[in-house]
Structure 1
Amino acid sequence: MNDTLLLIFTRNPELGKCKTRLAKTIGNENALTVYKMLLEHTVNITKSLDCDKAVYYSVKVRDNDYWDAAIYQKHQQHGGDLGIRMRNAFSDSFKNGYKKVLIVGSDLYDLTPQHIEDAINQLDNHDVVIGPALDGGYYLLGMKELNQSVFENKEWGTETVRKDTLENLKHKKVSLLETLNDIDIFDDIKDYEIFKPYLTKV
């Protein structure tokens, strides 16, 4: 067991149930295709990282899918909202003996292995590391102990999440990574050549 664990939160890739805000513009089938491409990208950039890795499914753990069980621990998310689900995943990870725990989503085409490696290294000298997203949230959160307040009283999915999280952490030593674009709506994705075939508006 490595002392560092990377949590990957993912939605089960099912038609009409993922990238729903994007689907309002490009349709359910195209949105599903885009999300599957994002999942493949997330696998490709995380599978060789020098840390333990765990994928947390939104609905049901799948055996034969993108996530190789020889590389990724597999769990189901538990909790009423995103904050509770993340808190529970962090809490369980620390209880299992990990010293550094980080979480990323599965909707970042700009995310690279270097971003995650930098975040892991930043925790050597910081209490918390955050990867800011352009929409006011964050694409990565890492810590060395459970800071419960960051998972409470947030308007998840809004532009206030990162600001409110930093307010919770004002007495902690926080490192901020490069700001990246996460993909939720049409404007987030329209400039990527790789996705252009799937951006027909409905």
Structure 2
Amino acid sequence: MRTLGMFVKWPRPGQVKTRLARSVGPEAAVDFYRACVEDMVDRLRLSGDRRILAWAPESPAAARYFSTLAGDDFDLWLQPDEDLGGRLIRFFQDHACHPDDRVVVIGSDSPTLPLRYLDAAWDALKDSDCVLGPAVDGGYYLVGLRKPIPALFDDIAWDSSTVLTQTIRQVRQSGATLALLDPWYDVDTLGDVELLDGHLAALDAAGERLISPRLRQSLDLLREQTDGFHPETD
């Protein structure tokens, strides 16, 4: 079974997009994050055989929000109160349980991620134990497994620019076979937002328009607020 897990947080000031918030303020950062999540969920509703929103933190309001967002297309899975490594371990333990499972996890920081990258990840897991999608900031935008490898997420400095390097080390030590996807970019800072804005414009010009109405509206508001973006302030 091709399973897609998307790790998401309830949009709240001070809890999401904190690096972007330093440039645009917490409320604008939350609005941008919410737009990314909601547009991505809509784009992913037909991806794979099963889709799961891995949400946090636990609260009645967050549960209502994600239940409404998921609709009939996503299952919900509450992230445990652990660091990212612990949460990833638990997710794969819960969902990579059978020989035919191919489980891929993404976050919400790559709103333009092509859907073909997900298909490539599931295809790679036919022959490899692990697949990683390198992010240009030194982390990764996707990780996939066909069986749990708990050691994969041990001793990782999650807020550093060496997450990918450390994870590759853990892959080697575990003896797992590895496949790599092409690099892609995350959106964490105002400079990244400018890159995203330009990328969407380029896609439009090339006739490959990405359907992302909430994201585009959020970008328009950020452009007005920052007078055309000024990434040097990041």
TM-score norm. by structure 1 comes to 0.90
User: SS of the counterpart of 2:156?
Assistant: coil
Q: 1:144 to 1:32 in 2, by over 3 A?
A: same
CA contact (8 A) 2:4 2:47 kept: no
Shift of 1:196: 4.9
Runs of 5+ unmatched residues, structure 2: 198-215, 227-232
CA contact (8 A) 1:5 1:98 kept: no
Post-superposition Cα deviations, 1:29-66, rounded to whole Å, max 9, x if no partner, equal 21011111211231122111132011111213523546
Aligned residues: 200
2:161 aligned with 1:137, yes or no? no
2-structure distance, mates of 1:140, 1:150: 14
User: SS of the counterpart of 2:54?
Assistant: strand
User: SS of the counterpart of 2:164?
Assistant: helix
Shift of 1:15: 2.7
Post-superposition Cα deviations, 1:129-166, rounded to whole Å, max 9, x if no partner, equal 10111111101000111111111111002111111111
**Which structure carries more relative contact order (alpha carbon 8 Å, separation 6+)?**
1
133-142 vs 110-119, which moves further: 110-119
2:222 aligned with 1:198, yes or no? yes
2:158 aligned with 1:188, yes or no? no
User: SS of the counterpart of 1:190?
Assistant: helix
2-structure distance, mates of 1:150, 1:186: 31
Structure 1 runs (4+) greater than 6 angstroms displaced: none
1-structure distance, mates of 2:99, 2:42: 26
1-structure distance, mates of 2:111, 2:45: 15
2-structure distance, mates of 1:46, 1:134: 22
1-structure distance, mates of 2:164, 2:31: 29
Runs of 5+ unmatched residues, structure 1: none
Look up the match of 1:50.
48
Post-superposition Cα deviations, 1:102-149, rounded to whole Å, max 9, x if no partner, equal 100012122121111111111112111101111111010001111111
Look up the match of 2:205.
none
Q: 1:158 to 1:101 in 2, by over 3 A?
A: same
Shift of 1:67: 2.6
Post-superposition Cα deviations, 1:8-39, rounded to whole Å, max 9, x if no partner, equal 10010123321111101111121011111211
1-structure distance, mates of 2:99, 2:154: 24
9, 12, 30: which one aligns with 1:14 = 12
2:39 aligned with 1:37, yes or no? no
CA contact (8 A) 1:5 1:53 kept: yes
2-structure distance, mates of 1:85, 1:50: 22
CA contact (8 A) 2:18 2:26 kept: yes
Shift of 1:77: 0.5
